[in-house]
Amino acid sequence: MKVSYHGHSVVKIETNGTNIFIDPFITGNETTDLVADDTKADVILLTHGHNDHVGDTVEMAKRNDALVVAPFELATYLGFQGVNAHPMHIGGKHEFAFGTVKLTQAFHGSAYTEEENQRIVYTGMPAGILFTAEGKTIYHAGDTGLFSDLKLIGEQHKIDLAFLPIGDNFTMGPEDASLAAEWVKAEKVVPVHYNTFPVIEQDPQAFADSLKKAEGIAMKAGDELEL
pLDDT band at 54 (very low <50, low <70, confident <90, very high): very high
Short-list 119, 150, 130, CA closest to 49: 119
Average pLDDT over residues 44-71: 98
Q: How long, in residues, is the chain?
A: 227
pLDDT band at 102 (very low <50, low <70, confident <90, very high): very high
pLDDT, residue 122, reads 97
The torsion angle over the Cα atoms of residues 145, 194, 160 and 74, rounded to 10 degrees, is: 60
Q: What is the CA radius of gyration of the chain?
A: 16
Residue 221: how many other CB atoms lie within 10 Å: 16
- The whole-angstrom separation of Cα 51 and Cα 31 is 15
- The whole-angstrom separation of Cα 24 and Cα 12 is 9
- The whole-angstrom separation of Cα 175 and Cα 163 is 15
pLDDT, residue 43, reads 98
Helix (H, G, I), strand (E, B) or coil at 176: helix
| Check whether domain 2-221 has CATH 3.30.1300.10, yes or no | no
pLDDT, residue 149, reads 97
Exposure on the CB side of residue 61, measured as CA atoms within 13 A? 26
User: How close are the terminal C-alpha atoms of the chain, in Å?
Assistant: 5
Residue 30: how many other CB atoms lie within 10 Å: 10
Sequence-distant (≥ 6) Cβ neighbours of residue 154 within 8 angstroms: 183, 184, 185, 186
- The whole-angstrom separation of Cα 126 and Cα 178 is 21
Give yes or no for a contact between 127 and 105, defined as CB atoms under 8 angstroms apart. Answer: yes
Short-list 99, 18, 1, 36, CA closest to 10: 36
Short-list 81, 91, 37, CA closest to 60: 37
Sequence-distant (≥ 6) Cβ neighbours of residue 116 within 8 angstroms: none
pLDDT band at 105 (very low <50, low <70, confident <90, very high): very high
Helix (H, G, I), strand (E, B) or coil at 151: helix
Q: What pLDDT, in 10s, does the model give residues 122-171?
A: 999 999 999 999 999 999 999 999 999 999 999 999 999 999 999 999 99
pLDDT, residue 22, reads 98
